[in-house]
Amino acid sequence: MDDFLPPHFNCSDAVRKNIIRKLAAFEVIADELPVYIIHDVRDFSVVYLSQKGLRQLGASLKDVRRMGQEYFIKFFNPDDVQFYLPRFVERLRDKESAARWFSFFQQVTTGQNQSFEWYLSASRPFIYDEEGKPLLSLTFALQLDPNHHLAEKAERLMMENLLLKDNYQRYASLTKREKELLQYIASGQKTAEISNQNHISEKTLNTHRRNIKRKLGAKTHYDIIKFAQAFNLV
């Protein structure tokens, strides 16, 4: 039972007993559960990782505890981590939404030769301190079948999220009218149709189209579609 917590984990005796009690209950049915990970939300270091998860990572519990933040660098796609971790931290600060499950896709090096594989994960607070603040988080990680459509969707969603993050300022530079027309242009409608629907000439529409492409740095119509998808316009 002492292995459930790192030797120098700082908490009260009452909280410690509660953690050990809950994790002991998990261990009884561990083989029937997805991989589960317990993080210290004060620094997001690993407190506990199920044996199933350790086997998939090819590491020991002592290893992952010792890594600290290096754990995220070694086993996860850093682009994924930069996207979902700040959002989960923000969720923890909101008392009303903190208790709800926070779900996300992530890539983990559990494949052959430590290649990335897709997981659907969900996290929420697991243990609170005596002041009612989240102390530990619980994450369940369910591996996706690489041949399932969800794995393909996860890859596309992550690419869209990265496009959004890297190009938000470009998108913000568009005028309100340009954003409206971007939606029509990305939909694949013909120039004449878009012009009629928006009561503008084809010449004016083509001018807007050039300005949109210039501001977004888009070179092809496919680039336009990717931007529109990332910003939920189509």
Q: Coil, strand, or helix at residue 58?
A: coil
Instruction: Using the predicted structure, report yes or no on whether residue 77 has a pLDDT greater than 80.
Output: yes
pTM: 0.67
What's the distance, CA 13 to chain centroid? Answer: 34
173-230 has the same fold as 2-148: no
Residue 18 and residue 98: Cα distance in Å, rounded? 20
Instruction: Using the predicted structure, report yes or no on whether residue 1 has a pLDDT greater than 60.
Output: no
The pLDDT value recorded for residue 69 is 87
CATH 3.40.50.2300 fits 2-148, yes or no: no
Instruction: Using the predicted structure, report yes or no on whether residue 112 has a pLDDT greater than 70.
Output: yes
32 with 21: CB under 8 angstroms?
no
Q: What is the domain partition of the chain in residue ranges?
A: 2-148, 173-230
pLDDT tens by residue, 170-217: 888 889 898 888 888 888 888 899 999 899 998 999 999 999 989 888
Instruction: Using the predicted structure, report yes or no on whether residue 155 has a pLDDT greater than 70.
Output: no
Edge to edge, the sheet with strand 116-128 lists 45-49, 35-40, 134-143, 116-128, 102-109
pLDDT tens by residue, 18-75: 999 999 999 999 999 999 999 999 999 999 999 999 999 999 999 999 998 899 999 9
The CATH code for residues 173-230 is 1.10.10.10
